[in-house]
Amino acid sequence: MLRSHLLLAASILSYAVLQIRGDIMQSGNPVLGRGFEANPGVSTHDAAERMTLKGTLHKTAILLMLCLITATYTWGTLAQGGEVQGLMIGGAIGGLIFALVTAFKPHLAPVTAPIYALLEGLFLGGFSAFMEALYPDIAMQTVMLTFGTAVVMFLGFATGMIQVTARFRAVVMGATGAIMLFYVAGFVLGFFGVELPLIHGTGLMGIGFSLVVVGVAALNLVLDFDYITRAAHSGAPKSREWYGAFALMVTLVWLYIEFLRLLAKLRESD
C-alpha cells in the first residue's frame, strides 16, 4: 500500500513538474519564457553584469547541493526507521508552491529557487530511500543515469550535434504537453480506483512508456540549454542565472523521478 501511495505521489510530482515547465515555456519570447525577456538596458560592454551559461551552471550546482542536503536528511531518517511522511508531503507541496512562484515571478528566483531545491530534496530523499529498500542500489544507478544523460545532452548541444530548430522545439514541447495530459488523466482516474497500466505497469507497454517519457525529459534539457544561451546572448541580467538554474533543476528532478520509476519497472519485470 505504501509503495502504491508513493508511486502515485511521484506521478503527481511529475505532473506538477510538467505543469511548471509549461508555465516556464509558454511565453512566445524566443528566450526562456517570462524570466528571460530581452533586456536592452544591459550593454554589451557590461559583460560582468550579463547572464552567462557558465554562471547558470554554477548556480544549478548550488541548487543541486541544497537539494542533496535535505534529501540526505530524509534518506537517513527513513533508513533509521524514523517517520518522514510529513516531511515528504510538506516538501512536495512546498516545492510546488515555490516553483510556481518562481515561474510567475522570475525576479524572485535568487530567493525562491534555493528554497524550492531544499523542499524538493525532502520528498526526493524519502522517496529514493523507500525505493532503495525495495530495489537495492537503484538510487545510485538513477543518479548516475540522470547526470550522465545531462552531460550527454549538454555535450550534444554544445558541439552542435543536436540542433534546436523550430520543429525540434515544437515536437518536444508538444510531447511534453501530451505526457502532462496523460498524467492528469491518470491522476483523475486514480480517484475512481482506475490505474492506467502505462504509468504504473511493469509490462512491455509500461516500460516502453517510461522510456519515451525519459527521452522527452532528456530532450527538454536541450531546450533549457538553448533558451538559456539565447537569454545570455539577448543581454539578460546576471540575476537571471538563478532562474535559468531553476529551469534546469525542474527538468533534472523530472528526469530523476522518471529514471527511478523506469528502473523500478525493469526490476519488477525480471
What integer is the mean pLDDT of 186-194? 76
What integer is the mean pLDDT of 109-132? 94
Q: How many domains does the chain have?
A: 1
pLDDT at 26 over 70: no
What integer is the mean pLDDT of 164-181? 88
pLDDT at 45 over 70: no
pLDDT of residue 92: 86
pLDDT of residue 20: 58
What integer is the mean pLDDT of 209-226? 93
How far is residue 22's CA from residue 84's CA, in Å, rounded to a whole number? Answer: 30
Give the DSSP letter string of 35-92: GG---TTS-TT-GGGB--HHHHHHHHHHHHHHHHHHHHHHHHHHHTT---HHHHHHHH
The pLDDT confidence band at residue 46, using thresholds 50, 70 and 90, is: low
For residues 8-37, one letter each, b for 16 or more C-beta atoms within 10 angstroms of the residue's C-beta and e for the rest, the string is bbbbbbbbbbbbbbebbbeeebebbbbbbb
| Residue 237, strand partner residues | 50
pLDDT at 199 over 80: no
pLDDT at 269 over 80: no
pLDDT of residue 27: 39
What value, to the nearest 5°, has the Cα angle with vertex 224 and ends 220 and 230?
140
pLDDT of residue 21: 56
Residue found by looking up cell 530567493 in the block: 111
And the C-alpha cell for 128?
Answer: 529514493
How far is residue 20's CA from residue 26's CA, in Å, rounded to a whole number? Answer: 10
Mean predicted lDDT score pLDDT of the chain? 83
pLDDT of residue 1: 42
pLDDT at 190 over 80: no
Which range of residues forms the domain containing residue 135? 2-269
pLDDT digits (tens, 9 = 90+) for 138-163: 999 999 999 999 999 999 999 999 99
Comparing 39-43, 142-146, 156-160, 237-241, the range with the smallest average pLDDT is 39-43
pLDDT of residue 47: 64
pLDDT of residue 189: 80
252 against 188, higher pLDDT: 252
What integer is the mean pLDDT of 77-104? 87
pLDDT of residue 6: 53
Asked if residues 227 and 36 have their Cβ atoms less than 8 Å apart, the reply is yes
Q: What is the pTM of this model?
A: 0.85
Comparing 25-29, 91-95, 198-202, 256-260, the range with the smallest average pLDDT is 25-29
Asked if residues 231 and 1 have their Cβ atoms less than 8 Å apart, the reply is no
